[in-house]
Amino acid sequence: MNNQRINSSSEMDGNIDKLNPFASDLKEFFESCKTLPLFKKLPLRDELEVRKQRLSGGRYLFRPCGIGLHPNESNKIALELLELLKKHLCDRKDELSAIADAMIQEKIIANDFLLQIIKNEGNQIRKVIRDNNLAEDIFTFFAIYFARPFRQFASEYLLEGLDKLNWFSGYCPVCGHWPGLGHINSEGGQRTLWCLSCNSKWNFKRTQCAFCLNEDHQTLQILNPENEESYRIQICKKCKRYLKEVRSIIEVKNFPFDKYYLGTLPLDVIAEQKGYFQESMLTVRYENSEGNELLMYRQKVEFD
């Protein structure tokens, strides 16, 4: 019993539903990737107790050094993904084709490029963009989703056996990227954070900045579009970062995070307009066991 307004007609709901075809194709694509051989050599995985200790110490689990991939598979996956994106992002078809061409002509070796993404080698990625004269934003987008099946596999592999994550840091416990979306359970109000890069989910305190860990409620706020109570961003006046959140009756395990991540772009606009930001999706937190300082490896972007 509370005064929470329940939206009978939500524009955002409508917006998100229109993404259903794209979302379902994307989901099918990820599912099909699961059946393929992704890793020739699996990422390093410690014993369960050691993994628990790593997490207690704020150290994320995924260490990409030493992994082995299947070059042909990687290439196939890249091209398939590009076709999917071309189908749904019609107005960016040409730019996507340019990327595909570059891969077919082996100006970009899909497998090498994939390793660069997984290892968070931002400088290299920027070089590829420049050398091939590609659209920076769509390429970044493609890169994240290209690496996704691999990182997602790694996440499931590394989290095996860990039911309750003793995790209190401002980044993903698997791959170290910052969370892309927060899910708030309609019943009980628990917040779960989701990583766009590897699909990991972890429980996180509501009244805390998911990035700098600020807990002062006077410097944290919730912004939501008028009449859209279920869609909101948590802003932190201390670090100026924001997190998109969706309050939903759909349980976490069934929640289509990708669909909502893409469909809530208006929230990113709001954040930008109010002066809040998120680092590039390619950003990862370097391992740093001392203090709360968040060392971000930022993507420097040149404006036109």
Partner 1 sequence: MASLAATFGRGAMTNHWIDMINTDVAMVMGSNMVENHPIASKWLMRAKERGAVIINVDPRYTRTSSFADIYCKLRSGTDIAFVNGIINYALQNGLINKDYVLNYTNASFLISEKYSFHDGLFSGYDPGKRAYDKTNWAYDLDGTGNAKRDLTLQHPRCVYQLMKKHFERYDIDTVCKITGSPRAIYEKVCRTFTSTWAPNRVATWLYAMGTTQHTHGTQNIRTYAILQLLMGNVGLAGGGINAMRGESNVQGSTDMALLFHLLPGYLASPTKAEQSLEEYKTHFTPKTNDPKSANWWSNYPKYIVSLLKAWYGDKATSENDFCFNYIPKRSADYSHISLFETMYEGKLKGLFLFGQNPVVGGPNSNKERSALEKLDWMVAVDIFETDTSVFWKRPGVNPADIQTEVFLLPACSSVEKEGSVSNSGRWAQWRYKAVEPVGESASDLWIIDALHKSIKKEYATSGVFPEPIVNLNWNYGNGEEIYPHREPDVHMVAKEINGYFLEDKVVNDKQFKKGDQVPSFAFLQNDGSTCSGNWLYCNAYPGPEKENNNMARRIKEDAINGIGLYPQWAWAWPVNRRIIYNRASCDITGKPFDPKRWVVRWNETTGKWEGDVPDGPWPPADKYPFIMKPDGHAWLFAANLNDGPLPEHYEPLESPVDNFMSSQQNNPAIKLWHKVNPEGNAIGDVKKFPIIGTTYRVSEHWQAGAMSRNIPWLAELVPDVFVELGTDLAKQKNIENGNRVVIETARGSMEAYALVTRRFEPFQLNGSVVHEVGIIWHFGYNGLARGDSANLLTSHIGDANTMIPEYKAFLCDVYKKNGGVA
Partner 2 sequence: MKISRRGFLGAAGASTLGGAITLIGLPKTAKAASVPEIKTVETTESTTICPYCGVGCGLIVSTREGKVINIEGDPDHPINEGSLCSKGMALFQVAVNERRLQKVKYRAPGSSEWEEKSWDWTLSEIAKRVKKTRDATFLKKEDDKIVNRTNGIACMGGASLDNEECYLLSKFARSVGITYLEHQARI
* Interacting residues toward partner 2 by CB under 8 A: 1-4, 11-12, 14-15, 18-19, 21-22, 88-92, 136-138, 140-141, 144, 185, 187-191, 205-207, 217-218, 220-226, 232, 262, 265-266, 268-270, 272-274, 277-282, 298-299, 301, 303
Strand order in the sheet with 191-194: 201-203, 191-194, 181-185, 242-248, 231-236
Contact residue for partner 1 among 20, 24, 53, 207 (CB under 8 A): 207
Structure tokens belonging to residue 135: 């659209």
Structure tokens belonging to residue 217: 């409620």
Contact residue for partner 1 among 7, 53, 166, 292 (CB under 8 A): 166
Which residue, 42 or 223, has its beta carbon nearer to partner 2?
223
222 interacts with, out of partner 2, partner 1, none, CB within 5 to 8 A per kind: partner 2
C-alpha distances (whole Å) from 120 to each of 19, 23, 48, 200, 290 are 29, 26, 26, 17, 21
| CA–CA dist 202, 212 (Å, integer) | 16
| CA–CA dist 231, 133 (Å, integer) | 37
6 interacts with, out of partner 1, partner 2, none, CB within 5 to 8 A per kind: none
**Radius of gyration in angstroms for the set of CA atoms belonging to the chain, rounded to a whole number:** 19
Contact residue for partner 1 among 205, 219, 222, 227 (CB under 8 A): 205
| Binding of residue 53 to partner 1 (CB under 8 A) | no
| CA–CA dist 278, 139 (Å, integer) | 18
Characterize 86-100 residue by residue with b for buried, 16 or more Cβ atoms within 10 angstroms of its Cβ, and e for exposed. Answer: beeeeebeebbebbb
**Near partner 1 in 217-256, by CB under 8 A:** 217
166 interacts with, out of partner 2, partner 1, none, CB within 5 to 8 A per kind: partner 1
**Footprint on this chain of partner 1 (rule: CB under 8 A):** 1, 56, 166, 168, 205, 207, 215, 217
